[in-house]
Amino acid sequence: MKTIDELLAEGVRGKRVFVRADLNVPLAGGTITDDGRIRAVLPTIVKLAEAGARVVVASHLGRPKGEPDPAFSLAPAARRLGELLGQDVAFATDTVGASAKETVAALADGRVAVIENLRFNAGETSKDDAERGAFADRLAELADVYVGDGFGAVHRKHASVFDLPARLPHAAGYLIATEVGVLKKLTADVKRPYVVVLGGAKVSDKLAVIDQLLGKADRILIGGGMAYTFLKAQGHEIGISLLQEDQIPVVLEYLARAEKLGVELVLPVDILASSDFPDLKGKTPAEFITVDADKIPADKEGLDIGPKTRELYASKIADAETVFWNGPVGVFEHPDYANGTKAIAQALTESGAFTVVGGGDSAAAVRTLGFDENAFGHISTGGGASLEYLEGKTLPGLAALEV
């Protein structure tokens, strides 16, 4: 995989460099609530601009249905990028149309432009190779060189991620190089004890990674909505908690494998449970009880790990040398159900281990709960991409950069 430093050594002054970034930031009323993904791509953009490249930044945002939708415009991300760069960033109001062509043509050396949301064109996400390729051809007209630095999208076989690098000289940006380097530390020559914390809503989202980690991790701590399928598989009452009943046979198999392999698969011992899912918008005080994990009342739903589990999980992390965490262990968006996720984050910062926060909601939780990002070894920008890498899958965006 060619590095951006090799690209810079060849010279990029005056060249149009297409940077596939991940500016898929959360928005509330048009305001960015977490600019972490924008800041993550800054080193690549800054280096290219300083070297005199004409930088064309492209990304997706949300899931528009192949046509323009103002709710998913990248305009707020372009404005924020300009603020962080300390320069005006030009913005094209389309992807490959007149505005994009004019905006890129007007770029001077060392300047930056952002084109509109790539997913406003159906060709970006099409499963048809010809349709994707046609869109990639049009994107290629905007550039001389391609730099892949949108790690959060490398697991997608999309035009700007997979097809475009084949049409231009290409290299990996600093963010992708960092992310891949970190993930290699979780899959080869891992320092032990190796502890994995998995949360989130659905156990089905994590089955493949659990399957892989059962042969690699020393301890796997389970939390979040997925924990209740494990508890149900053990025969416990889980009330109206989130359940994927069809996954119980697989969960039982994993519990048996973990015991056979000597892997600690640790489940919650107590739970915060309520009859009502919390109001996340108003964040009104929640009514809940703390119960043993095997005694959740029939009319209540588990929404966070309890105080005994917080202490237990912290103790399982304390002596770790490597920790990977993906997925909050409670409804962290509400302050009454954020203490479990906060305890996991705190334990990581105090462990002395090489700690990796696996993107997505976990990364959002770290920032929302006020932790210093520098207290962690690495905060990934791609939750889905990280998991698929750990599952051993070939990621299309990385494969395209290696050719």
Catalytic residues: 37, 202, 360, 384
Three-state secondary-structure class, residue 237:
strand
Residue spans of beta strands (DSSP E) within 279-326: 289-292, 301-305, 322-326
Decide if 326 contacts 198 (C-beta within 8 A). Answer: yes
Backbone phi and psi for residue 40, each to the nearest 5 degrees, phi listed first: -65, -30
DSSP 193: S
Q: How far is CA 149 from the centre of its chain?
A: 14
Cα(360)–Cα(380) distance, integer angstroms: 8
* Residue 121 tokens, joined: 């064109």
H or E element that contains 37: helix 36-50
Kindly give the residue spans of alpha helices, DSSP state H, lying in 126-268: 129-140, 174-185, 207-213, 227-233, 248-261
- Do residues 41 and 173 lie in contact, with contact meaning Cβ atoms separated by under 8 Å? yes
Identify the helix (H) or strand (E) that includes residue 114.
strand 112-115
